């Protein structure tokens, strides 16, 4: 029988720290800079009024994104100085109520759920970088053919090239192994090292591609109006009439939460490895600024302008409405394939997406690994092994039931509902339980700058009200139809119901085992007295 861990081991889960201030900023920025920056943002902007979308977008950044980022950095550092590396532990340190840790558990559960499907999508980018360099994508002509290529690769419409999902599964296993290898290296030698290498490489690839896109000009001499500048106009010219739609404001709020990785719990875990006097105010703003540079400047200059120049406004509109996958995996290979050295630029595009993906996916894995270390007193190696085994089993529905809507279901509950609910919980805890005056002092402990004082009142009143509105609007407008699976094909419902039970079982297992481990810890402490 294994020897029970000591109370201290269960409490701390180790004493890992970041190697440098730059390392933690790049790691947090890498968590935020993901597939959403280069795929999701251009589509959201194009579908919701172009330049007009940026009005609610920047308001959401000011009133939601920045306050939540600052709060999560502060909660994380506070939890870390009290021996906790997860939101569950940080919540219990800030609020002595027994139920606080179960509320904080959403900051571990949410990242795990997102990891289960995000990794599979991430693996597609690695596969397509190889397909591009090998010349496979260059042999495919037209939107329909490229769409068929993607579906066959995913196992949704097998053909002679991809008779089954085996090729996609191989790249999934490879991507899975690479992620586990990184997190097994620990905070400094794994996550920080990869972030320091991959994030600068990501920005370099993005700049190279953006410059190349601007050189496209008007590729069709017969259609001089189909050019990159007009493509930028398509994306950024404002349609102010859309600002009267609540859908646009909700889309902007959702994009900010998604792109900054706030409300997930990953930042709380990353910040927990800071030292007590490390600056969370400046670091959080730097990480937010890095993400916005990647999203607004680089992400906005790549996909839509390039597609507009080659396909024109009408087809471009249809492409944008078709979603991020069509843009990233169907349209961009066709666009880049028409350029000199198209295979190389196509490879760079998908490597850009892969680097963005892996810096995000390792941030999703770390809260769960830290949870295993903190709660069960496991070594990092054992925690990574357990996380890997459980995640491998739980991710299979995303791979094999992709066509049943499983990925969308996981994304909705893990990447939308949990995100909003947890964001609301943490800002209420910080401002109203921990106390906004105490929290404001905590933010500025060790800080080289002081945030404008109005942020204090934004955190206390505006941000929770904003999140309550978002949550309330969804409950009023969509909750009934979503929960009842209205509009879902009858053949797909058993799969989605099965996934929901899987998620319920996962959360209950985490909560019950945490409860048992904490009781065991208290028993050990009593025996040691």
pTM value > 0.95:
no
Q: In Å, what is the CA distance from 501 to each residue of 102, 312, 372, 409, 495? A: 19, 45, 22, 12, 10
What pLDDT does residue 406 have? Answer: 95
Give strand ranges (E) for 354-495: none
Residues 6+ apart with CB under 8 A from 379: 373
Tokens representing 349? 């595009």
Tokens representing 170? 């191989």
What pLDDT does residue 510 have? Answer: 96
Within 10 angstroms of residue 385's Cβ, the number of other Cβ atoms is 16
Whether pLDDT at 8 is above 50: no
Mean residue pLDDT of the chain comes to: 89
Split at pLDDT 50, 70, 90, the class of 34 is confident
Whether pLDDT at 233 is above 70: yes
Split at pLDDT 50, 70, 90, the class of 2 is very low
What pLDDT does residue 5 have? Answer: 38
Question: In which residue are the tokens 């900054």 written?
Answer: 260
Q: What is the pLDDT of residues 357-375, one digit of tens each?
A: 999 999 999 999 999 999 9
Within 10 angstroms of residue 167's Cβ, the number of other Cβ atoms is 18
Q: In Å, what is the CA distance from 192 to each residue of 5, 15, 98, 262, 265? A: 28, 15, 34, 19, 18
For residues 288 and 68, the answer to whether their CB atoms sit within 8 Å is no
Q: Of 32, 19, 88, 78, whose CA–CA distance to 372 is shortest?
A: 88
For residues 251 and 48, the answer to whether their CB atoms sit within 8 Å is yes
**Looking at the chain, how many residues does it have?**
529
Whether pLDDT at 14 is above 60: no
Query: What does 114-137 look like in DSSP terms, one character per residue?
Result: HHHHHHHHHHHHHHHHHHHHTTTG
What pLDDT does residue 6 have? Answer: 37
Tokens representing 261? 């990785």
Within 10 angstroms of residue 340's Cβ, the number of other Cβ atoms is 7
Whether pLDDT at 78 is above 70: yes
What pLDDT does residue 340 have? Answer: 87
Measured on CA atoms in the order 176, 294, 154, 494, is the torsion positive or negative? Answer: positive
Least trusted range by pLDDT, from 55-64, 244-253, 347-356, 513-522: 244-253
Whether pLDDT at 437 is above 70: yes
For residues 374 and 380, the answer to whether their CB atoms sit within 8 Å is no
Identify the three-state secondary structure at position 72.
helix
**Structural domains in the chain?**
15-528 (1.20.1740)
Mean pLDDT of 285-295: 90
Q: Residue 238 pairs with which residues in a beta bridge? A: 50
Q: What is the pLDDT of residues 149-190, one digit of tens each?
A: 999 999 999 998 999 999 999 999 999 999 999 999 999 999
Mean pLDDT of 438-453: 95
For residues 80 and 291, the answer to whether their CB atoms sit within 8 Å is no
Whether pLDDT at 4 is above 70: no
Q: What is the pLDDT of residues 471-526, one digit of tens each?
A: 888 788 777 888 899 889 999 999 999 999 999 999 999 999 999 998 887 777 77
Q: In Å, what is the CA distance from 331 to each residue of 35, 74, 126, 138, 325? A: 16, 41, 17, 12, 9
What pLDDT does residue 460 have? Answer: 97
Residues 6+ apart with CB under 8 A from 304: 42, 45, 46, 231, 232, 234, 235, 316, 320, 327
Question: In which residue are the tokens 């010349």 written?
Answer: 135
């Amino acid at each position: 029988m294994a020897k029970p861990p000591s109370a201290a081991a269960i409490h701390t889960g180790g004493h890992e720290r970041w190697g440098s201030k730059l390392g933690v900023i790049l790691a947090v920025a890498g968590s935020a800079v993901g597939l959403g920056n280069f795929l999701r943002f251009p589509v959201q902007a194009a579908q919701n009024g172009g330049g007009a979308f940026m009005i609610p977008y920047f308001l959401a950044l000011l009133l939601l994104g920045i306050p939540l980022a600052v709060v999560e950095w502060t909660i994380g550092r506070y939890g870390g100085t009290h021996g906790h590396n997860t939101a569950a532990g940080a919540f219990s340190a800030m609020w002595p109520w027994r139920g606080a840790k179960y509320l904080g558990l959403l900051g571990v559960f949410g990242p795990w759920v997102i990891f289960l499907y995000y990794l599979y999508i991430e693996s597609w980018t690695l596969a397509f970088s190889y397909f591009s360099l090998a010349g496979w994508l260059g042999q495919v002509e037209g939107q329909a053919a490229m769409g068929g290529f993607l579906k066959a690769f995913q196992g949704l419409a097998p053909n002679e090239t991809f008779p089954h999902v085996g090729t996609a599964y191989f790249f999934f296993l490879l991507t899975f192994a690479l992620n586990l290898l990184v997190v097994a290296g620990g905070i400094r030698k794994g996550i920080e090292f990869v972030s320091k290498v991959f994030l600068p490489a990501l920005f370099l690839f993005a700049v190279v591609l953006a410059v190349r896109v601007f050189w496209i000009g008007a590729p069709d001499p017969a259609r001089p109006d189909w050019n990159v500048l007009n493509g930028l106009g398509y994306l950024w010219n404002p349609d102010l009439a859309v600002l009267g739609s609540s859908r646009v404001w909700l889309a902007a709020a959702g994009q900010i939460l998604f792109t900054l990785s706030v409300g997930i719990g990953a930042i709380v875990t990353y910040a927990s490895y800071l030292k007590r006097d490390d600056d969370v105010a400046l670091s959080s703003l730097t990480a937010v600024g890095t993400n916005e540079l990647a999203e607004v400047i680089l992400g906005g200059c790549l996909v839509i302008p390039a597609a507009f120049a080659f396909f024109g406004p009408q087809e471009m509109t249809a492409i944008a409405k078709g979603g991020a996958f069509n843009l990233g995996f169907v349209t961009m290979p066709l666009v880049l394939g028409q350029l000199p050295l198209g295979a190389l630029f196509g490879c760079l595009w998908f490597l850009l997406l892969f680097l963005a993906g892996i810096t995000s996916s390792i941030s999703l894995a770390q809260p769960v690994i830290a949870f295993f270390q903190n709660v069960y007193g496991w070594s990092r190696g054992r925690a990574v092994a357990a996380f890997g085994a459980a995640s491998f089993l739980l991710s299979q529905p995303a791979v094999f039931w992709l066509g049943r809507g499983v990925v969308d279901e996981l994304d909705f509950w893990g990447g939308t509902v949990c995100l909003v609910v947890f964001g609301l919980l943490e800002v209420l805890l910080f401002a109203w339980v921990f106390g906004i005056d105490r929290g404001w002092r905590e933010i500025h402990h060790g800080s080289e700058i002081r945030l404008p004082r109005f942020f204090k009142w934004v955190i206390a009143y505006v941000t929770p009200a904003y999140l309550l509105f978002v949550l309330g609007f969804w409950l009023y407008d969509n909750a009934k139809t979503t929960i009842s699976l209205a509009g879902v094909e009858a053949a797909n419902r058993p799969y989605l119901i099965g996934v929901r039970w899987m998620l319920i079982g996962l959360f209950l297992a985490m909560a019950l085992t945490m409860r048992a481990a904490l009781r065991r810890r208290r028993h050990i402490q009593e025996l040691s007295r």
